[in-house]
Structure formats: C-alpha cells, structure tokens
C-alpha cells in the first residue's frame, strides 16, 4: 500500500503559524523507518505493508504531539495487494503516458 499523510500541530502559539519544527520530527520518524517514502510541501508518501505503514504514521503523529495542544492528521491510502515499488512505478507510468501523447 501507499499512504499519503499530512500531520501538523495546532495551538502551538507561534506568531507566524509555522509548523516546520514539528513536521521535521515526523519526517525523521518516516526516514528512520527504512520504508520507501517521499516528502513534498504538503504530504509525505510512504509505501509498505498495512501494519508497518500505519505504525510509522502513528509514531510520526506522536512525534508532533509535543508541539501543540492538538494534532491534525490527514491520510489517503492506495491499497493494492500484490504490488510493490508503486511509489515510483505509478509516476513512471504517468510520465510514459504523457510522453506518448
């Protein structure tokens, strides 16, 4: 499965509203997991088996908790049993389709 998630604290009291320090802690958890992943400006995508992916998301959420009075978590999952390497594979097929037009 591939899961795209975004986790951020609220009620952190920062005047500029920035959450980069908290998000950095979440991304460290993802990177330490050893699972294939990609982080963009809005989401982190992670690929693996259901239990390991959701364990990482849970630990990333817990890493953000000290930075605010509450945490917002958004998850979108692509569950496709029997497939691996789709984090890159889906993009490769997309680029191929674009170049064929």
Q: Collect contacts of 19-23 with beta carbons under 8 A, ≥24 apart.
A: 19/67, 21/67, 22/63, 22/64, 22/67, 22/68, 23/64
The terminus-to-terminus CA distance of the chain in angstroms comes to: 29
- In this prediction the pTM is 0.90
**Tally of structural domains, the chain:** 1
pLDDT tens-digit readout, 84-98: 999 999 999 999 999
pLDDT of 13 reads 62
**In the predicted structure, residue 12 carries a pLDDT above the cut 80:** no
pLDDT at 101: 73
Q: Domain of residue 45: give its range.
A: 2-100
User: What CATH code is carried by the domain that includes residue 35?
Assistant: 3.30.70.930
In the chain, % of residues over pLDDT 70: 95
């Amino acid at each position: 499965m591939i899961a795209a998630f975004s986790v951020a604290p609220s009620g952190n009291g920062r005047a500029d509203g920035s959450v980069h320090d908290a998000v950095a802690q979440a991304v460290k958890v993802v990177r330490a997991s050893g699972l294939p992943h990609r982080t963009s400006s809005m989401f982190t995508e992670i690929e693996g088996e259901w239990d390991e992916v959701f364990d990482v998301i849970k630990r990333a959420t817990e890493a953000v908790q000290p930075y605010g009075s509450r945490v917002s978590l958004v998850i979108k999952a692509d569950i496709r049993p029997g497939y691996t390497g789709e984090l890159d594979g889906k993009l490769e097929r997309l680029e191929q389709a674009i170049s064929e037009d």
